[in-house]
Amino acid sequence: MRAAEEAHVPPVEDRLPLHAVEDLTAHTASGDVPVRVYTPTAADRHGLLLYFHGGAFFLGSLETHDHVARSLAKETGLKVVSVGYRRAPEAAFPAGLDDCCAVTRWAAEQGGRLGWDGTTLALAGDSSGGTFAAAVAARAHDEGFDRITHQILYYPSLDLDFDEDRYASLRENAVGYGLETAGLKPFNAFYLDSGADPADPLVSPVKREDLGGLPPALIVTAEFDPLRDEGELYGRRLREAGVPATVSRYAGAGHGFVQHFSWIPAYHRVFAETRDFLARS
């Protein structure tokens, strides 16, 4: 499946041009983690956005989501650091999360080398990458790391301890829209193969009891996505905890639209919405 996904990646010469794109290795407490750094302009300093790709915890890569990272850098004007975290089943929970947390700290520590201007340090992720973005924000808060300024979650998977009675979208969008409800638990099983508790708030961020003090959030959901309702619930719970949270449902969209269908103007505007959220929050 990974090889088939990689086969659809366009050649470098056909990708959105930026000022610079550089592959680096982040030497972290979690080990050496490959990252790709996207610099939108020739300015000496930029804000930073850490991007965690999706792929049900076992698919996706720096290559498959290269166009998403490029679009984020181009539209937001931030320097984007895309993280090549360890994937299941070779590395189950908490390996991928540990990598994402460690690279976030590495980016802050290496700010001078990366050209960080010391302002924005945002987290973003799609699908399972959104799980990581939310969990990194929560763990950082608990550990007293207060540099993270925003969390941006595109159709995130936030409740791996779900049942179909809890979320109407799991029933309404069970089949026919790409991601199917019946496939969620088998996909998640790869990630949970370490014996992780699906109700652990670092596995299922919507289970966290106290959401107070977390960074402002943009949560993008898709009308025809089984995961729609858990993302929107997370947004409501953040607001109830006093955290500024914008929930934006994309009409007519299914799971994965940022990766697969962002060439459609109605969906490409997600990048402008991200830019505007960062500017006002």
The whole-number pLDDT of residue 121 equals: 99
What is the token pair recorded at 228?
């729609």
The whole-number pLDDT of residue 1 equals: 80
The whole-number pLDDT of residue 245 equals: 99
Rounded Cα distance between 276 and 57, Å, is: 29
As averages over each run of 10 residues, the pLDDT of the chain (281 residues) reads 82 91 97 98 96 97 97 98 98 98 98 96 99 99 98 98 92 95 94 97 98 99 98 99 99 95 88 97 82
Cβ neighbours of 21 (radius 10 Å):
19
C-alpha 114: how far from chain center: 20
Q: What is the chain's length?
A: 281
The whole-number pLDDT of residue 145 equals: 98
The whole-number pLDDT of residue 2 equals: 85
Q: Taking Cα atoms as reference points, which of 97, 152, 136, 129 lies closest to residue 270? A: 152
Work out the widest C-alpha separation in the chain, in whole angstroms: 52
The whole-number pLDDT of residue 9 equals: 86
Catalytic residue numbers read 127, 225, 255
The whole-number pLDDT of residue 166 equals: 92
Q: Taking Cα atoms as reference points, which of 132, 125, 179 lies closest to residue 153? A: 125
- Give the list of residues 6+ apart from residue 23 with CB closer than 8 angstroms, or none: 34, 35, 36, 37, 62
Domains of the chain: 2-280 (3.40.50.1820)
Q: What is the pLDDT of residues 100-136, one digit of tens each?
A: 999 999 999 999 999 999 999 999 999 999 999 999 9
The whole-number pLDDT of residue 96 equals: 99
The whole-number pLDDT of residue 30 equals: 95
